[in-house]
Amino acid sequence: MKKLKLEDVAALAGVSKTTVSRVINRRGSLSQKTIDKVEAAMAQLNYHPNVIAQQLHTQRTNLIGILVPSVANPFFGELTMYLEDALFQRGYKVLISDALNQTAKEERYLSQLMGHQVDGLIIATHNNKLEEYQHANLPIVAIDRFLRADIPVVASDNYAGAKLATEALIQRGCQHIIHTYTTNPSNWHDNQREKAFQAVMADHHLPAITYTTAFDCPPAERTARFERLFDEHPAVDGIFASNDLDAARLLSLARARGYRVPADLQIIGYDGAQATQELVPELATIIQPIEQMATYAVKLLADRMAGKFTPTSTVLPVNLKTGQTLKTLP
């Protein structure tokens, strides 16, 4: 059987060998018509590029590593989906590692990703103390995480989002507001939510009460913590939860205790992942621009791999979705 070559694909598609190579490697300016013609020719001939030869020629693997804390979390699951798609559109293959909030697992995955000779990394996990992050000699972009001074960070405007959420509760008459906050020392951006909550409550001369849980807190322990919240503050009339999963859990616990939402208690979450909005459509929340965050992170990584200048911090705007767990303003 004759071994197929680029020339065969080029002849069938009616383009040059160089164009076929550019389509395969997603390099240069290409029209969709040209891409379709070349890919149709490759499919008709059942032609598969020699990946090893490509890597030897370009000194690149076209592999990008993505490291997230848990794809089971709706926010990170949606973020991973958009990251993978944006990378695919640029011709990259993806290795996804789910650290399950475990430091040892994150360290092992990070080592494995580097061992696969990835061209770059996108990191959304929660441990910035790993030695590998301090000495990694390859392009890295972080999402909502500070890893190292020279590693770009893409984040939503956590301070503005928390301010929006807290002010929305106060505008609707809440006086006894509690913020449930997921602690994460490595995530300066997440910590901005607590800072904004404290500042807004102080501006309105209201007590700022915060209940904290660790990011890797087991579900049963987290639920018990929230049960204590209602035991210790039965007069609570507003809750700003640091994420939508906690907000949904609090909503369920409140209803089980007889609170009428939003008549007695108003609740607002944070994230706005599509899966959560479909499961709990009534939940008011701060919507992060997840797709935009992913797309911009991929652009930054591509720029860094190309040796271009990249800003150290990019902050994207958020929006408030009022929902039915907030009262309607008059």
DSSP-assigned letters across all residues of 163-212: HHHHHHHHHTT--SEEEEEEE-TT-HHHHHHHHHHHHHHHHTT---EEEE
Q: Is the pLDDT of residue 57 over 60?
A: no
Tens-digit pLDDT profile for residues 209-227: 999 987 778 889 999 999 9
Please tell me the distance from the alpha carbon of residue 23 to that of residue 15, in angstroms, as a whole number.
11
Instruction: Convert the pLDDT of each residue in 262-315 to its tens digit.
Output: 999 999 999 999 999 999 999 999 999 999 999 999 999 999 988 898 999 999
- For 130-170, how does the pLDDT look when each residue is reduced to its tens digit (9 = 90+)? 555 554 568 889 998 887 788 899 999 999 999 999 999 99
More confident: 81 or 182: 81
pTM, whole model, 2 decimals?
0.78
CB 295 within 8 A of CB 86: yes
pLDDT in tens, 180-212: 988 765 555 558 999 999 999 999 999 999 999
pLDDT computed for residue 78 by the predictor:
96
Size (the chain), residues: 330
